[in-house]
Amino acid sequence: MGGRDATMVLLDENGIRCDGRKVDEPRRIMIKAGGLKNADGSAYIEFGDNKILVGVFGPRDVHPKHMSNTDTGILRVRYHMEPFSVGERKNPAPSRREIEISKVIKEALEPAVMLDKFPRTAVDVFIEVLQADGGTRCAALSAASVALADAGIPMRDMVAAIAAGKVADTIVLDVNNEEDQAGQADMPIGYMPNLEKITLLQLDGVLTPEEYKKCVQVGVDGCKIVYDIQKKALQDKYFGNGGD
Ligand code: CDP
């Protein structure tokens, strides 16, 4: 992955980060619900320089049939990075990282999706990362939630996601790619804001128990910012003039 500029200042004396943000400030987030005519639901997210498209299909029949569950529906998630989405061309074949992130996102969405309403069927979530810049799993998870809602899949809550982390000995919201490479900890969090439950929590790095608690709080607060943008995306499509 990308190298680090040794001269880069991660946090200056005024508490400003390498990309001009304050410690508790997320990157620019834009979410659009809908857009893919052939999908049952879809969403597009720009999260800083990340650009990700999500299509949802289903509930639909499962083939082969023995993969289905007579008691409940199943959720299938495929996270895929386009070869051109990163600086150094990525091999289009599924990498171990993509398989892991697909599983992580699926497990983060499952508590929110009422699959028991669709026994014997599958809901498929296809995630295409068009441009990656650190934090794609959180951006993809946030967009996938909107795409599921856009598909009319009954949900207990949305899942909003963002990473908190430790950079230059300070807990910050929304670790960018440079901070991830050079920083001390990265903690992606997925959170259901109404149920007040965390559905994804990963930690890459080292934190004290106090820093860990602060990181979770900063991340949860950040998820609430993302949630407002998710809601606005759905409101714009269904009650505003941004629909298609
Ligand atoms: O994207 P996320 O932070 O969820 O996952 P990561 O595995 O921590 O990757 C961090 C970043 O590394 C990605 O967002 C990409 O910008 C970059 N990356 C890359 O340049 N080439 C890859 N093959 C995979 C990731």
Radius of gyration from C-alpha coordinates of the chain: 18
100-134: pLDDT as tens digits: 999 999 999 999 999 999 999 999 999 999 999 99
CATH number of the domain at 29-238, please?
3.30.230.70
In angstroms, rounded to a whole number, what is the distance separating the alpha carbons of residues 50 and 143? 12
Quote the ligand 1 centre to 131 CA distance (angstroms).
Answer: 10
Q: Which atom of ligand 1 is nearest to the CA of 140?
A: 4
Residue 66, token pair as written in the block: 């023995």
Contacts of 242 (CB under 8 A, 6+ apart): 32, 33, 236
Contacts of 201 (CB under 8 A, 6+ apart): 187, 188, 189, 190, 216
* Most informative mutation of 177, 179, 189 for ligand 1 (most atoms within 8 A of CB): 177
Largest CA distance in the chain: 61
Confidence of residue 7 (pLDDT cuts 50, 70, 90): low
Confidence of residue 6 (pLDDT cuts 50, 70, 90): low
Positive/negative CA dihedral, 86, 92, 96, 100:
positive
Token pair 């390498």: residue = 18
Q: pLDDT at position 241, please? A: 60
Boundaries of every domain in the chain: 29-238
Mean pLDDT along residues 9-17 = 93
Name which residue sits closest to atom 7 of ligand 1, judged by CA. 97
DSSP state of 176: -
Q: Which residues pair with 74 in a beta bridge?
A: 122
Name which residue sits closest to atom 18 of ligand 1, judged by CA. 1
181-206: pLDDT as tens digits: 887 999 999 999 999 999 999 999 99
ipTM summary value:
0.98
